[in-house]
């Protein structure tokens, strides 16, 4: 029996596939097109699409454990619910689902509400799942590094409430640990929800200060203007529906932040057996690569 990874080629999913393969797990990776994805040796590529139920049924045949990560797409909710329903049909009773932190506190943000609805399905149907709720990915800031270095501005309008940024590698390591824990158990394990976040809360100003320190020169925070943020995304060819979704997300980040539950980070570090990675170390690493 194998572990199926849906979302296998993205930032987190590719790391999950690699981590599982390194642990000797039998892994299937769902891919849209044959031969396009670079997968570790021994990982089986299965061609499918979350909008194609027949391909999902084929991909899940003989699967014991499922990792479900759905990308930000306009029909994310339908895709996720279809995947979980097909998993139920296939008798899969070991699931790890990648949601988002504070999903229930962002009701006006489409992709947050989609994920919260999936969480509700898992809860109402008593699915044996681990729900991982990551905060803002540190890797989001790779895309803005040229702006930071070239223009001296940190442009993410994350405000003053606080965001517990998390490294995608930590998310993947925790996902791998939970997948293996469930996969190796004799039977289905109780459902659990984990906030996946770093130890330190960052505001726009404090995140900017990390870059200033690392670069040895003054970087300025670009401010909290989410309309300008949306316009910049559209200018950079982000689809308008997605740019608006991300604008709404930033508005809510400014209002309520992304703050993990008490004790969440300690629980994560117990799973990992080490401290969570820090934003300061991440920034220093990115600058070395530049």
Tens of pLDDT, residues 226-255: 999 999 999 999 999 999 999 999 999 999
Largest CA distance in the chain: 57
The answer to whether 212 and 119 are in contact (CB under 8 A) is no
The bridge status of strand 63-68 relative to strand 44-47 is: unpaired
Distance, CA of 14 to CA of 24 (rounded, Å):
16
Work out the pLDDT band at 37, boundaries 50, 70, 90: confident
Global pTM value = 0.96
Distance, CA of 108 to CA of 110 (rounded, Å):
6
Per DSSP, the three-state class of 239 is coil
Domains recognised in the chain with CATH numbers: 2-134+167-196+260-276 (3.40.50.720)
Work out the pLDDT band at 22, boundaries 50, 70, 90: very high
Distance, CA of 178 to CA of 165 (rounded, Å):
21
pLDDT at residue 140 in the model: 95
Q: Convert the pLDDT of each residue in 137-183 to its tens digit.
A: 999 999 999 999 999 999 999 999 999 999 999 999 999 999 999 99
pLDDT at residue 196 in the model: 98
Helix ranges restricted to H, the chain: 11-22, 53-60, 76-89, 110-124, 145-151, 168-184, 204-215, 226-235, 240-256, 264-272, 279-289
- CA nearest to 166, candidates 191, 183, 141, 192: 141
Q: HSE-up of 173 (CA within 13 Å, CB side)?
A: 16
Q: Convert the pLDDT of each residue in 253-278 to its tens digit.
A: 999 999 999 999 999 999 999 999 99
pLDDT at residue 289 in the model: 86
Does 36 score more than 80 pLDDT? Answer: no
The answer to whether 94 and 185 are in contact (CB under 8 A) is yes
Quote the mean pLDDT of the chain: 96
Does 201 score more than 90 pLDDT? Answer: yes
Could you say which DSSP state residue 166 is in?
B
């Amino acid at each position: 029996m194998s572990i199926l990874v849906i979302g296998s080629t993205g930032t987190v999913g590719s790391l999950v596939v690699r981590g599982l393969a390194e642990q000797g797990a039998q892994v299937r990776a769902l891919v849209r097109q044959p031969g396009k994805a670079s997968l570790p040796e021994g990982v089986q590529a299965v061609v499918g699409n979350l909008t194609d139920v027949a391909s999902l049924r084929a991909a899940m045949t003989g699967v014991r454990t499922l990792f479900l990560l759905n990308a930000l797409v306009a029909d994310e909710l339908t895709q996720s619910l279809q995947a979980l329903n097909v998993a139920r049909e296939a008798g899969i009773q070991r699931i790890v689902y990648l949601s988002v932190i504070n999903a229930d506190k962002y009701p006006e943000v489409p992709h947050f509400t989609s994920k919260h609805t999936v969480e509700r399905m898992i809860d109402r149907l008593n699915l044996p799942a681990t729900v991982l709720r990551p905060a803002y990915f540190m890797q989001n800031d790779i895309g803005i590094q040229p702006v930071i270095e070239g223009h001296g501005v940190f442009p993410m309008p994350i405000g003053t409430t606080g965001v517990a940024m998390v490294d995608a590698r930590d998310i993947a390591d925790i996902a791998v640990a939970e997948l293996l824990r469930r996969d190796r158990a004799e039977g289905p394990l109780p459902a659990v929800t984990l906030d996946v976040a770093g130890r330190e809360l960052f505001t726009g100003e404090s995140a900017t200060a990390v870059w200033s320190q690392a670069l040895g020169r003054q970087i300025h925070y670009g401010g909290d203007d989410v309309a300008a943020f949306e316009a910049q995304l559209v200018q950079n060819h982000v689809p308008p529906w997605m740019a608006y979704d991300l604008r709404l997300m930033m508005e809510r980040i400014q209002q309520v932040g992304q703050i993990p539950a008490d004790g969440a980070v300690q629980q994560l570090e117990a799973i990992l057996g080490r401290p969570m990675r820090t934003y300061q170390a991440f920034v220093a690493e990115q600058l070395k690569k530049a």
